[in-house]
Amino acid sequence: DAEITQSPRHKITETGRQVTLACHQTWNHNNMFWYRQDLGHGLRLIHYSYGVQDTNKGEVSDGYSVSRSNTEDLPLTLESAASSQTSVYFCASAPQKGEQFFGPGTRLTVL
Amino acid sequence: GNSVTQMEGPVTLSEEAFLTINCTYTATGYPSLFWYVQYPGEGLQLLLKATKADDKGSNKGFEATYRKETTSFHLEKGSVQVSDSAVYFCALIPNTGGFKTIFGAGTRLFVKA
């Protein structure tokens, strides 16, 4: 069965370190998205991609980057982790204008 | 711009009670409308959707009707169960300008036995 996975599921890191969160989907969807979810803020879009080599900034992109070298993967990198980036991160994929399929999330703690 | 407004929670109900979670939207034209559900410790998953006016989406006893005249997509269930306790998100995809989904803030539902 097709699926979307995220790794790691939990991560603790220190301020200033570079961190990469992985997202892998086997739906063959062109569209992929990264969100963060915080109490009181709902879901906020970080970056998104509509296909290989395409990346776009979302509403809270500062301090984050993505790259899309193939259809299946959209890794999210925190260049220099800050305590304000402690959050739960969700990756999602979608066909053209269809519903999004979400991964299980990564809980990131920055100390 | 495009936006989704849903009722603030938490909503607390007893088992077998009737549920309504209100959702209204702002968008030009005819967006596609969705309800997602998030159970504790999990990602969001699609609950139901409607893609044109007067369509009714339904799944697992939940229903929502696309009302263009009131720009609404309220979620209803006739008899909730403890297992329905979750956070519910209303969402839309505009019919122009890309494939991003616009999410509401989410409504937490607690169902007591």
Strand pairing class (A4-7; A87-94): unpaired
What are the residues facing A89 on neighbouring strands?
A36, A106
What are the residues facing B32 on neighbouring strands?
B93
Using the Cβ of B1 and the Cβ atoms of chain A, whether some distance falls under 8 Å is answered with no
Non-local CB neighbours of A101 within 8 Å, separated by 6+ positions: A4, A25, A27, A29, A92, A93, A94, B46
Using the Cβ of B45 and the Cβ atoms of chain A, whether some distance falls under 8 Å is answered with yes
Per mean pLDDT, which range of A38-42, A81-85, B32-36, B100-104 is the poorest? A38-42
Alpha-carbon distance of B41 to A9, in angstroms, equals 11
Using the Cβ of B113 and the Cβ atoms of chain A, whether some distance falls under 8 Å is answered with no
Q: What is the pLDDT of residues A34-91, one digit of tens each?
A: 999 998 788 999 999 999 999 999 999 999 999 999 999 999 999 999 999 999 999 9
Residue B108: CB atoms within 10 Å? 14
Confidence of residue B8 (pLDDT cuts 50, 70, 90): confident
B76-90 average pLDDT score: 97
Alpha-carbon distance of A94 to A8, in angstroms, equals 22
Residue A96: CB atoms within 10 Å? 10
Instruction: Flag if A48 and B32 touch (Cβ within 8 Å).
Output: no
Residue B10 preceded by cis peptide, ω within 30? yes
Q: Residue B26: what pLDDT?
A: 95
